């Protein structure tokens, strides 16, 4: 029996990159997966198709988690479709760097609305349905350890996420719901290609600082999340795991 058989998982921001890899990994381990997307229906449908083609169960559900009504609608759709909820992976995030001279209110609010408020709203909705053994995994970043230049707002969102995760681990522990954080290092995704980082001198710089000597892949992160989602991690809560090739 696969370690997530019978469980239902929601993965936010799962139409591409790390989120897509997480959705596929959870499905491979037996979970029924809700593949959330904000705007890329084509990407989410492709993830669902890949999961079902491999014999798994998945549906795509649109929803902007930074909007309360849509975040709650996403969770309700999952419960309606599969009858329960066991795992929430808060992966949705906006990845933008900006030097301090160029930080704007719009930039700040966009990042904090998705990266922080979105986690709070999705977790608020999910907590009503998660029972004993439930698992919440929040995707952060090693930027909270290495403080790259021009990342003040982005790093601030991830620092807030780490603090929120610690609070929620304590708050939800009496209900036997676990909350953990996975912090990736540099990972080659569609997003880092679009940003012009993948294949650039910046990527080479990241790799040079990585003890294991290469850039990360989405499946490097997905395997850690699948562990935390499963009962193999039943005694693990309130932890941050750096999936970064040794960067810290």
Token duo for residue 206: 């990241």
DSSP E strand boundaries for 123-177: 135-139
Query: How far is 188 from 200, CA to CA, in rounded Å?
Result: 11
Query: How far is 154 from 107, CA to CA, in rounded Å?
Result: 10
Query: How far is 241 from 142, CA to CA, in rounded Å?
Result: 10
How far CA 185 is from CA of 18, 49, 66, 194, 206, in Å, comes to: 12, 28, 24, 17, 9
How many Å separate Cα 176 from the centre of its chain? 21
Contact 60, 35 (CB under 8 A): yes
The torsion region of residue 62 among left (phi > 0), alpha (psi -120 to 50) and beta comes to beta
Query: How far is 119 from 142, CA to CA, in rounded Å?
Result: 18
Query: How far is 137 from 171, CA to CA, in rounded Å?
Result: 15
Contact 210, 247 (CB under 8 A): yes
Question: Which residues is 240 bridged to in the sheet?
Answer: 181
- Mapped onto helix, strand or coil, the DSSP state of residue 52 is helix
Annotation marks residue 154 as catalytic: yes
- Mapped onto helix, strand or coil, the DSSP state of residue 30 is coil
- Catalytic residue, candidates 37, 95, 147, 154: 154
Could you list the active site residues? 154
């Amino acid at each position: 029996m696969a370690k997530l058989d019978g469980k239902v998982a929601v993965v936010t921001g799962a139409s591409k990159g790390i989120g897509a890899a997480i959705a596929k990994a959870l499905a491979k381990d037996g979970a029924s997966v809700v593949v959330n997307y904000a705007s890329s229906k084509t990407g989410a449908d492709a993830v669902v198709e890949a999961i079902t083609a491999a014999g798994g169960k998945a549906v795509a559900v649109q929803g902007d988690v930074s909007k309360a009504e849509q975040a709650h609608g996403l969770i309700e759709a999952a419960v309606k479709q599969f009858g329960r909820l066991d795992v929430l992976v808060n992966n949705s995030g906006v990845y933008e760097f900006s030097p301090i001279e160029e930080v704007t209110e719009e930039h700040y609010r966009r990042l904090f609305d998705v990266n922080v408020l979105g986690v709070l709203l999705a977790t608020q909705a999910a907590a009503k349905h998660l029972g004993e053994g439930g698992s919440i995994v929040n995707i952060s970043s090693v930027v909270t350890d290495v403080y790259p230049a021009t990342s003040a707002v982005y790093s601030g969102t991830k620092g807030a996420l780490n603090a929120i995760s610690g609070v929620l681990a304590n708050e939800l522990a009496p209900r036997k719901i676990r909350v953990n954080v996975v912090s990736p290092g540099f990972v080659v995704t569609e997003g880092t290609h679009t940003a012009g980082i993948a294949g650039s001198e910046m990527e080479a710089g990241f790799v040079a600082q990585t003890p294991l000597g290469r850039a990360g892949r989405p499946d490097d992160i997905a395997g850690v999340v699948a562990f935390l989602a499963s009962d193999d991690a039943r005694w693990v809560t309130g932890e941050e795991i750096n999936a970064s090739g040794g960067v810290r």
